[in-house]
Each structure stands twice: as C-alpha cells, then as structure tokens.
Amino acid sequence: MSRIIDIFEQSLKKSTADQTELVCEKEEFYLTRFAESRIHQNIGRADHTLWCRAVIGKKIGVAKTNILSQESINELVKTAIEICSQQVENPRFTSLVSSPKAQQTEGFYKSTAEYSPLNRAKAVKTIVDIAGQDKLATSGMFQTSTTELVVANSLGTRQQGKVTEAKISITLSDNSDRSGFAQAYSRDIKDIDFRDVANRGVQKASRPNKQVELQPGTYTVILEPEAVADFLLFLGFLGFGGRGMFNHRSFMADKIGSAIMSENVTIAEDPINPVIQYMSFDYEGVPRSKVVIVEKGIAKGVVYDSYYAHLNNVQSTGNALQPDNSYGPYPKAMVMDAGDKSLDEMIASTGRGILITHFWYLNFINPMLTTVTGTTRDGTFLIENGKITAPVTDMRISQSMLEAFNNVEALSKQRRLVPKFGVLMYVPAMKIDNFNFVSLA
C-alpha cells in the first residue's frame, strides 16, 4: 500500500492538469464452485485496477489501466489529460474534494485473507454430507476475497484501506420438485457456521407434503431476509441516490419529510456499523458516513458523491463509485431496524399466506412506481392456520416495492447479512399484507 502511495505522489507532482485524482483498487479473490455435490471449479485471481481523473477548467477526462508501475501511472495521467482536452466543459462541475483521513473500520481479517483452498473444500464437504443424508444434491459457490483501496489527489486527499469478505450460497435439490436455498456472509470467515447454512437449506428442501399450485391474487407473505434484500437492493438503485433526487427520477424526490413506508420500517446507510464494517471511504477518498434514509416510515434523505452533493447543496456522504461509473451514488451498506417477532411467531400469526425464501430474479416494470416483476425460488411454502403445510409451485409477482414496504405488518428480531452486486445489507424477515402474484412462474 505504501508503495502505491509513493508512486501516486510522484505522478501527481508531474501532472499538468489543474486537478488530478488517482485511484487504485486491488482485489485478490478465491472461488470454489460446486454442482451435483462435486467441486468443479477452483480459481484464484489477483489484479489491480487504476484510474486517473484529470480536470482542466471544467473539462474532465478519465483513463484506466491495470499496470502498476511508475512509468505506467505517469502515462495514465498523460492519457487522462489528453482525453480531458477532447471533452466539452461540464458547467455543473466545481472541483475534486480534499478530505480528512478516514478512520479505518475493523473490516480486515487475516483468518479470511489466508483461508486455504483445502479449507474451502472441507467446508463444501461438510455441506454436501449433511445434504446427502436427505438424498439432496448440492450446488453453489464459496468465495473469499481481500480488497485494498488507495485514493490520492492533488488537493491533498490521501486514503488507504483494506477489507476482507467471505460468502457462500447453496442450493439443495433432487430429481423431484424439492429445492432449498441458503447463504451466509461475514468479513471474518470464523463467523460462518457451515453446518447451519447446510441445515437451513435442507430444511427448505425437505418440507413434507406434495407441492401445491395457488391461484394468482393477493396474499399475505413472509419474506425471509434474502427476499427482503432483493427488494431493498432495487429500492437503493431506484431512489436512495443523489442523482435521482437531482433529476427528479427518484421516488424520494419531493417526499423528504413525508411518510412513504410503514412506521415500523427504518432504513439507514450505515457503513460503520460493526456488523457491516464497510471500507471507510469512497472512490473519491471521502469518509463514509451514516445516513438515515427512512425513519419510522418517514423519508429522511439519500446518499451523495461530491458532484451530486454540490448540485443538491449538501455534503457528500462518501458514496462515490469508481471514477468511470455512469450510475451516480447509491447506498452500499444498508441496515434495516429489527422488529420484535421471531420468524416462527410471524408464521404462527398468519391465517393463510406464503413464505418466500428468495426471488430468482427481479426486473423493473415501472421505476417511478417501484413496480417489479420476478419469480419465487428454492423455498416457497403455503401457510395455513399458523403452520407451514406444503411447498408451493413457484409464482410470478408484479408488485410495487413501496406498496409492499407500506404494508409491513411485522419484522423479525433476527437479522441476516446479505450481499448482492457489491451492496451489503443487514435485514430482518418481513410480514407483508396484500402482496400481488400474477401467475405461476
């Protein structure tokens, strides 16, 4: 890390741009994939991605490489300056940012960084053996990684940090209609209980009774944390970022201070939460901060990078993405407040409903109305008179996510970490009324 800073220092001194920013992201990850209860892929990869953002007046140029040397970075800066000279001015741009040193979270664990392929294989075998007792085949992935980030700019920002993560997801199935999904995530591999992951998957796939088909319509549903995270991820993309607020393409626009969800729903971007332990600064070197997005159902705010913070006349919350991104800021570390019920209590309080483990996929239908479609998968069950009575043939939904979060009857007191597309979420299960199913999957 210190070597990268030294290289950046020299290149920044030689830059002829008005302002220059250099970013290096180093990732080392190891992946074990398995199918039909056998490991079929075991890989490791280490690489650097380096960006230079050059600013001349109000023109901006971005260049990228993966060659880490003084000569290469000097050339990267020249390329970014050349690209900058060919751009049109952006009258809304003001400046790069000068940021204080971020306080590093405890996100790096040696136990994860040094976890061996043999240990990954042993963990997979534990899961396979447990699934095999119920004559279930196992497929899935198990990944460990270390990510290092360095940001330096000509205004004096100097940041460096390192985090680890371990994640595993499994699907258990047989030749009939039985299937079950489970996953686990932690910065520290020691916190993952592989037997618990296997048992959760087996519990889904081994429910007794024949699968039933339900008619389309509205039902009370209980979404397990993975299904809640599917919805929360899309809400984050659609409405919890400063770009959508500025362009009035967010369902949060003009709604700050208004009720948009049930009063038992509180959502925050909370990267410094001890369970989350996200990288303590963003790709501009701005320290990440906690942002309350929804508090007891009331819209409170969204996240920003420096560009959209200036346009909205607020401070950056430390949510800038990579310099060449086209998305604008969105939350990367969301936490939902827990409720006061156990999952079993939520099921027991349901006269007739559907338990959903997770969604196979979701797609937008109407972004402004937050309407999505998708199908349930690997653990959908009928609840009758407070008990799970039968597996349900997977069904397609067409549902406004805001309406769903407005119809929350209960939240579980247990929460689970769920990673999706670079976003980490710590969420409970949710009981929701009037959830719309439109057909069989």
- pLDDT of 259 reads 98
Instruction: Give the integer Cα–Cα distance in Å for 181 and 127.
Output: 12
Per-residue pLDDT of the chain (441 residues; tens, 9 = 90+): 679 999 999 999 999 999 999 999 999 999 999 999 999 999 999 999 999 999 999 999 999 999 999 999 999 999 999 999 999 999 999 999 999 999 877 899 999 999 999 999 999 999 999 999 999 999 999 999 999 999 999 999 999 999 999 999 999 999 887 899 999 999 999 999 999 999 999 999 998 778 999 999 999 999 999 999 999 999 999 999 999 999 999 999 999 999 999 999 999 999 999 999 999 999 999 999 999 999 999 999 999 999 999 999 999 999 999 999 999 999 999 999 999 999 999 999 999 999 999 999 999 999 989 999 999 999 999 999 999 999 999 999 999 999 999 999 999 999 999 999 999 999 999 999 999 999 998
- pLDDT of 135 reads 95
Q: Which of 224, 176, 206 is nearest to 431 (CA)?
A: 224
**Strand 352-366 with 217-223, pairing:** parallel
Q: Which of 236, 245, 255, 235 is nearest to 307 (CA)?
A: 245
Instruction: Give the integer Cα–Cα distance in Å for 382 and 393.
Output: 10
* CB distance 275 to 187 below 8 Å: no
Tokens matching residue 186: 């932690």
* CB distance 318 to 308 below 8 Å: no
- pLDDT of 121 reads 98
Tokens matching residue 395: 């069904």
Residue identified by tokens 């963990």 is 123
Write down the CATH superfamily of domain 2-196: PmbA/TldD superfamily (3.30.2290.10)
Instruction: Give the integer Cα–Cα distance in Å for 373 and 207.
Output: 26
Name, in order, each residue with C-beta under 8 angstroms of 313's C-beta and a sequence gap of 6 or more.
Answer: none
Rg, Å, the chain Cα set: 23
- pLDDT of 208 reads 75
Question: Identity (one letter) of the amino acid at 212?
Answer: V
- Sheet arrangement for strand 19-35: 59-65, 38-56, 19-35, 137-153, 158-173, 179-186
> Which residue spans of the chain are classified as CATH 3.30.2290.10?
2-196
Start-end of H helices in 62-144:
70-85, 110-113, 117-132
- pLDDT of 1 reads 66
Q: Which of 53, 66, 64 is nearest to 15 (CA)?
A: 53
**DSSP string for residues in 134-145:** TT-EEEEEEEEE
